[in-house]
Amino acid sequence: MRPELTFDSGSWHGFFTDDRAYPGRPAGQQWKLDVHLAFVIHSSDYRSFFGFGTDEIGEFQFTEGRVRAGAVSYFKQYSTHTVTYHGQQRGHMMSGRWFLTDFPWVQGGWSLWPHVQN
């Protein structure tokens, strides 16, 4: 039996990596992001979530977020394109792989964790 999910609504931080290289930015370099997430509890092993934030690409929204039995999925919607995210719960964080919804060969990794105030 999986432990109860511990994700809380609020400020989260993280990064994504891009498997492609750019001028001045090697493949796999981290791109930082900040997001505010709101979780809705449906059961001990299922939460949905949505949110909004910014990263080095621009402003975005998280839509159709789900954490079920440790599996994570959501969409990251920019004004110009959508990114599909899949991954796993890893303790208090989430991580996995992403791909551009319209160009699935464009992909990379990601990680998110809650902001901890000292």
User: Is 95 part of any domain?
Assistant: yes
Minimum mean pLDDT among 11-20, 22-31, 57-66, 86-95: which range? 22-31
Q: Give the pLDDT score at 88.
A: 97
The answer on pLDDT for 95 being more than 50 is yes
Distances (CA, A) of 55 to 6, 16, 34, 76, 91: 25, 9, 6, 11, 24
**What ranges make up the beta strands (E) of 10-57?**
10-17, 30-43, 46-55
Q: Give the pLDDT score at 3.
A: 46
User: Is 52 part of any domain?
Assistant: no
pLDDT band at residue 31 using 50, 70 and 90 as cut-offs: very high
User: Is 5 part of any domain?
Assistant: no
Boundaries of domain holding 91 = 10-42+62-114
User: Is 29 part of any domain?
Assistant: yes
The answer on pLDDT for 93 being more than 60 is yes
Looking up residue 95, the CATH number of its domain turns out to be: 2.40.128.120
Beta bridge partners of 117: none
Distances (CA, A) of 109 to 28, 64, 69: 8, 19, 21
Q: How far apart are CA 53 and CA 40, in angstroms?
A: 18
Q: How many structural domains does the chain have?
A: 1
Q: Give the pLDDT score at 22.
A: 79
pLDDT band at residue 24 using 50, 70 and 90 as cut-offs: confident
